[in-house]
Structure 1
Amino acid sequence: MGMPYGKLGALREHLANVSANELPELLTKFEEYLEKILRQIFLILVMQNNLIRIR
């Protein structure tokens, strides 16, 4: 039987009809990916606010 779609059976954690065993293995550890993305976001925000000068 598939994912429940009724209001009583579908909670916030049921956003996608994908099972964990259907997902491919990650090439990068999640912690490393998150750190890299947050660093990039920080640098973009810093540049947008002219806190550093690019020559």
Structure 2
Amino acid sequence: MFWTKNSIPMLPRLSELDAYKYYFQCYGKDMETNLPDKKGQLIPAFHSVMKKKHRSL
């Protein structure tokens, strides 16, 4: 299992995880102060992951 709170660095290599179950957790800066901006970066990145995953199914 692979689990991350910040999917942005993984986007270019996401296909390498196709054989695995993976999860992305989305917290805001109130809980994780070192994460990128939730609305501006993390949520769009999660949407990108979901689009890529649905195309591979």
Higher relative contact order (CA 8 A, sep 6+): 2
Q: TM-score when scaled to structure 1?
A: 0.32
> As a proportion of its length, which structure holds more strand?
2
Using structure 2 for the length normalisation, give the TM-score.
Answer: 0.31
